[in-house]
Amino acid sequence: MGATRPTAAGSLAGAVAVAVAVVVAVTGAGVLGLGPLGAVGAARADSIRDMEYWLSDYGYRAAWDTTRGAGATVAVIDTGVDGSVPELQGAVVDGTDVSGIGSPDGQKPVGESSEHGTMVASLIAGRGTGAGSGVIGVAPEASLLTVSVALGAGSVDSDEQIAHAVRWAVDHGADVINMSLTRNSLDWPQSWDDAFSYAFDHDVVVVAAAGNRGSGTTEVGAPATIPGVVAVAGVDTAGDASFDASSQGITIAVAAPSEQLVGVVPGGGYVLWDGTSGAAPLVSGLAALVKSAHPELDANNVINRIIATAQPKGDPVPGPIYGYGLVDAGAAVTASVDPVASNPMGDLAAWIATYRPASTGGSLDTLVIPAPSPAPAASGPDTDAGGRGPDRPSVYTLIHWAVPLGLLLGFLILMATFALGAVSHFKGLLRK
């Protein structure tokens, strides 16, 4: 998680959430959290399913006629997933802790927003608690990996945690990695270059939340700015851009519901929550459905199906608010979509070659000065020349010029001095 101004979902009293959003000032990343986090309270499990409006409105039930995600594995890099709750029993197949304060299997909730990871996991692969009861995820037969990360005293550096977590997820069979977290900065540490490149090189889809204005994220931050990552924006129950529970940026891929989401908390129980932390797992679950239905597809084409079948929204398309549009799970699974040869969300290797010259053997006398990128306009065009990719900085490169230019200027000044002296001497001779 690595960010300067992360947010937390709030505290829990047993299985009941306090309806409060907490802003936590720490160095490193933060879960996208989510406020207000409201207790569902005494709601019965058989009434919870009725609250999951996205299952029908966004085509997930239609997709289930083809697949429910069996055979696909999603890694949840978050605050830990409590696999003992009824909805997640049998879903979590492996896990680890990279924070230094969790349990070896990654199932101990850790950090300021310890309930967060379980809530996210329930939206991806919740099994329900019976026919028509309890939270059911959008890919209810997918398998989950849990990698627990944490902030604060006693935990490992947050940037290091993320890099380690991504690599562990890849090595343990993830088809999809869900990252409901943000660094609250456009850039990211160089260690993430290697970790995310490792994921892409091993054919893994990486999905990240865009962030929430209500929590101080006014524009998309890393990892959602990393080329190749599927950045997810949030919409309200009417399908319109959420103001508090979303953010904007030219790297947005698609939009999914981020308001009035119902999730499961550690120990059991239900909460309503808002935030792109909930929108991202709806897209990660969709990626699992596509992979399950089309196991022959590589990650690039799984992503392409998601964006190509999204329902266009906003102007332009793709745009900084909705990306390519609202996800349509049924179409993503069943539609005829032309294949692609590369990741439609950008090429991290090309970005590294351009913006990390030292890592590609660049000479020491090459000076690269990145200029800050302006925040994208709310409804302006995608200014990235490549169509997609991160908010790339302008780059000014000076190659082998500094010393020759100084010598040339010195020579010209010397010649000008001699010329002025000669003219003055010549005028003196004329006066004589």
Would you state the pLDDT for residue 218? Answer: 81
Count of beta carbons in the 10 Å neighbourhood of residue 271 = 26
- Which residue of the set 277, 284, 292, 373 is catalytic? 277
**Which of 116, 173, 166 shows the shortest CA–CA distance to 144?**
173
Backbone φ and ψ of 352, nearest 5°: -60, -45
Q: What is the DSSP string of 146-166?
A: EEE---STTSPPHHHHHHHHH
- Is the distance from CB of 110 to CB of 102 less than 8 angstroms? yes
Nearest-5° Cα angle at 180, 153 to 44: 100
Active site residue 277: yes
User: Helix, strand, or coil here: 102?
Assistant: coil
Instruction: Looking at the structure, give the CATH architecture of the domain made up of residues 7-334.
Output: 3-Layer(aba) Sandwich (3.40)
Q: Is the peptide bond before 318 cis (omega within 30 degrees of 0)?
A: yes
Show Cβ contacts of residue 148 under 8 Å, excluding neighbours closer than 6 positions.
78, 79, 80, 81, 95, 96, 97, 98, 99, 102, 103, 106, 107, 108, 109, 110, 117
Would you state the pLDDT for residue 358? Answer: 66
Locate tokens 């890393």: which residue? 222
- Is the distance from CB of 34 to CB of 209 less than 8 angstroms? no
Domain boundaries defined on the chain: 7-334
Mean pLDDT by 10 residues, the chain (432 residues): 29 22 28 47 72 98 98 98 97 97 96 94 96 94 97 81 98 98 92 97 98 86 97 97 92 98 96 96 98 98 98 96 98 98 97 80 29 33 30 27 43 54 42 37
Q: What are the tens digits of pLDDT across the range 285-330? A: 999 999 999 999 999 999 999 999 999 999 999 999 999 999 999 9
**Which of 196, 83, 190, 90 shows the shortest CA–CA distance to 140?**
90
- Which residue of the set 78, 175, 244, 328 is catalytic? 78
Would you state the pLDDT for residue 330? Answer: 98
Give the Å distances, CA to CA, from 276 to 21, 109, 233, 296, 428: 14, 20, 6, 30, 82
Active site residue 384: no
Distance separating alpha carbons of residues 39 and 233, to the nearest angstrom: 24
Q: What are the tens digits of pLDDT across the range 361-383? A: 332 222 222 333 333 333 332 22
Show Cβ contacts of residue 421 under 8 Å, excluding neighbours closer than 6 positions.
none
Count of beta carbons in the 10 Å neighbourhood of residue 149 = 31
Distance separating alpha carbons of residues 260 and 22, to the nearest angstrom: 18
Q: Which helix (H) or strand (E) holds 406?
A: helix 402-431
Backbone φ and ψ of 368, nearest 5°: -115, 120
Backbone φ and ψ of 252, nearest 5°: -60, 130
Locate tokens 């088809």: which residue? 175
- Which residue of the set 99, 116, 148, 284 is catalytic? 116
Active site residue 78: yes
The pTM (predicted TM-score) of the whole model is: 0.77
Distance separating alpha carbons of residues 90 and 5, to the nearest angstrom: 35
Number of alpha carbons in the 13 Å side-chain half-sphere of residue 258: 34
Would you state the pLDDT for residue 236? Answer: 97
Nearest-5° Cα angle at 183, 180 to 185: 130
3-state DSSP helix/strand/coil % of the chain, to nearest 5: 30, 20, 50
